[in-house]
């Protein structure tokens, strides 16, 4: 995160709230990327006291770690899935697009119930606590560490049991907090933009230098055949996958029918023609 991106997001949110005739009180920590002099109409900013502990900051009550646990579960599963066909570690790639999809899925997995509970744990007493499906906010132990009895951590622990790093296993808790001391923001000023421009790079270009996978994607028709084979797997070996594969087949068929590559054909064309011996 940097101040320019955050300011633009805040201004867009302010416009949206103004159109909806809503007013928002937003609590922020004192990170350098959070501007304190910005003028907004429908959003009022309140800053936590500097150098406060995680006890009064809702995001540190479990939201960030829940998000990390969900995100890294997708990353570990991706590694495991690709390791089945990879020859070396270099064959297991993670693209920026992969990360975007995982971020979206991980944030969606952090429920509204959990967010409400973390705010109550941080002192917003008028928010009633609700039992959440993902187990956050976490319980703090006597030394301030998060407890391990929550669903995101447990799910990450389950997939991590299939991986080792340097021959050693790693716990979900250690994996989630591994970068807690790393800054989550960076100041990107005008001088940096000018340097990039002089060197022939625009910000957008610099972010898009990642090479796309060279493997050609399957066509829709080929994808339908792949799903058919997955159905065979589910019906003969893994029945617990059947409802998910059935839903995937249904969605993929809808896409196929709506695409330009499909055409209206008679149902008789799906069957092999056998001449009538009596005609």
Give the per-residue pLDDT at 238.
85
Domain map (residue ranges) of the chain: 3-53, 56-176, 220-270
**Separation between Cα atoms, residue 200 and residue 278, nearest integer Å:** 77
Q: 169-216, pLDDT tens digit by residue?
A: 777 777 777 777 776 655 555 444 444 444 554 445 445 555 555 677
CB 114 within 8 A of CB 137: yes
Q: 103-157, pLDDT tens digit by residue?
A: 998 998 888 887 887 777 777 766 454 544 444 444 444 334 444 347 888 888 8
Q: 14-46, pLDDT tens digit by residue?
A: 999 999 999 999 988 888 888 888 889 999 998
266 or 124, which is more confident: 124
**Separation between Cα atoms, residue 29 and residue 218, nearest integer Å:** 47
CB 151 within 8 A of CB 172: no
- pTM of the complete model beyond 0.85: no
Taking residues 218-231, report their average pLDDT: 82
């Amino acid at each position: 995160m940097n101040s320019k991106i955050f300011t633009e997001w805040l201004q867009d949110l302010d416009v949206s709230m103004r159109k909806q005739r809503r007013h928002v009180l937003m609590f922020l920590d004192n990170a350098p990327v959070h501007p304190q002099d910005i003028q907004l109409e429908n959003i009022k900013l309140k800053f936590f006291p500097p150098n406060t502990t995680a006890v009064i900051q809702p995001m540190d009550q479990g939201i960030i770690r829940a998000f990390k646990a969900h995100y890294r579960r997708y990353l570990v599963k991706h590694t495991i899935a690709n390791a089945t066909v990879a020859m070396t570690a270099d064959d297991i790639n993670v693209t920026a697009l992969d990360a975007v999809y995982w971020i979206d899925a991980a944030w969606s997995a952090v429920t509204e119930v959990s967010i409400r509970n973390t705010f109550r744990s941080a002192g917003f007493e008028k928010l009633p606590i609700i039992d959440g499906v993902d187990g956050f906010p976490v319980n703090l132990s006597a030394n301030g560490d998060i407890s391990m009895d929550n669903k995101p951590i447990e799910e990450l622990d389950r997939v991590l049991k299939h991986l080792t790093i340097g021959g050693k296993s790693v716990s979900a808790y250690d994996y989630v907090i591994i970068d807690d001391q790393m800054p989550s923001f960076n100041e990107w000023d005008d001088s940096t933009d000018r340097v990039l421009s002089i060197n022939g790079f625009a910000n957008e270009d610099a972010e898009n230098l990642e090479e796309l996978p060279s493997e050609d994607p399957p066509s829709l028709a080929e994808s339908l055949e792949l799903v058919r084979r997955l159905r065979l797997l589910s019906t003969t070996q893994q029945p617990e996958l059947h409802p998910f594969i059935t839903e995937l087949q249904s969605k993929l068929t809808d896409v196929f029918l709506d695409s330009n590559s499909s055409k209206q054909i008679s149902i008789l064309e799906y069957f092999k023609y056998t001449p009538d011996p009596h005609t």
